[in-house]
Structure 1
Amino acid sequence: MATGETEPFVEGQVVDETVAEHTTFPPFDATTFASQLLWFAITFALLYYLMAKVALPRIGGILEGRRDRIAADLDQAERLKGESEDAAAAYEKALADARARASNMADDAREAARGKANTQREAVEKDLAEKLATAETRIADIKKQALAEVGTIARDAAEAVVTTLIEAEPTTDEVRKAVDDSMAGRGTDA
């Protein structure tokens, strides 16, 4: 092989490079600046186009969607907060109304019970007054009857005592006159 010619690459063969073949770092090689700048400009323009037309609009759409969703969620949260406050106010009002109705019902029940108790008390008092009047009438009748019979009982007792004491039987008229005088507050002068 002649100098300057390269051998064809064969698989499994190791290529030895010498220091003389590369004296500068390839990106800093002045002979390749133009092609590097061209590829840099093409790559930059392609990436700029992809970013401007594809990636950034998608990211912007995603950010806009998130912003809209967050705003909608905040609006819904505010609406639900207002509804819950309204519901709480309605609950408190309903609770206050229920308490007021319960208090009114209790007052009505108390008044009804008081009225019923008063009616029953008046009926019982009237019944007791009637029974008391009946009892007083009966007592007066019994007393009258007893007083009427006291004279008879006193005559019989006086007759028995006189008979026992003097061993003689007095007449009925004498016994009656003595008992009647004694009951009238007069005594006999015998």
Structure 2
Amino acid sequence: MAQPITAHAEVPGIEGEGANFPPFDVNTFGSQLLWLAITFAVLYLLMSRVIVPRLSGILEDRRSRIAGDLRIAAESKARAEEAGEAYEKALAEARGRAQALAQETRDKLAAETAEKRAALEAELARNLADAEARITAGKEKAMGNVEAIASDAAAAIVERLTGQAPARDAVATAVGKAMAQ
């Protein structure tokens, strides 16, 4: 069975009747409070003189390390931005040089093409003039032979129609008169 709990509880297993649990014993409150004050003072002094300064040092060290890291990060960011600007500038210069080189190459190729075209046109003009000269010479040669061919054809026609061969001189004279008209 359970025993009722009172302000002066008895500790089981302690010999003697009426033995109270020491923290609840009113007679020991004064000494307990004294030791509480002494323990609190010692712990307070230990905390304020040893532990708090160490923690403050650790926190200050962390603050300074974080500030240093932020400063380094800001410097790195500035260097990265400068490098990016330098890269963009170099890229723009390279594009400009590439465009200038491409334009120079186009101009050079256009000049070479114009020279080749002019040389080819001159050669074609020479070939055309030579061909026209050959055609004119062939035409003149052919025209020179036309009179002889016409005389032979006229003599052959007259001989076939009449049965007699005409005189060569008469045929040549008649063909010459016909060609003159």
Aligned to 2:125: 129
Shift, 1:80, TM fit: 1.3
Q: 1:105 to 1:23 in 2, by over 3 A?
A: closer
Segments of 5+ residues of structure 1 without an aligned counterpart are: 1-13, 186-190
Q: Provide Cα deviations, 1:103-148, integer angstroms capped at 9, x if missing partner.
A: 2222222222222221111111111100000001001100110111
Shift, 1:36, TM fit: 4.7
Aligned to 2:3: none
Written as runs of structure 1 = structure 2, the 5 A alignment for 1:82-161 is 82-161=78-157
Written as runs of structure 1 = structure 2, the 5 A alignment for 1:1-190 is 14-19=13-18, 22=20, 25-26=24-25, 28-29=26-27, 33=30, 35-36=31-32, 38-185=34-181
Aligned-CA RMSD value: 2.2
Aligned pair count?
Answer: 168
| SS in structure 2 at match of 1:170 | coil
| SS in structure 1 at match of 2:57 | helix
| SS in structure 2 at match of 1:17 | coil
> Residues of 1 paired with 2:88 and 2:100: CA distance?
18
Q: Provide Cα deviations, 1:7-29, integer angstroms capped at 9, x if missing partner.
A: xxxxxxx433323x559944x43
> Residues of 1 paired with 2:21 and 2:63: CA distance?
57
Q: TM-score, normalised by structure 2?
A: 0.82
| SS in structure 1 at match of 2:166 | coil
Deviates more, 1:150-159 or 1:36-45: 36-45
> Residues of 2 paired with 1:99 and 1:106: CA distance?
10
Q: Provide Cα deviations, 1:53-81, integer angstroms capped at 9, x if missing partner.
A: 21011101110011011101111111111
Q: Which amino acid aligns with 1:104?
A: A
Same amino acid, percent of matched pairs: 45
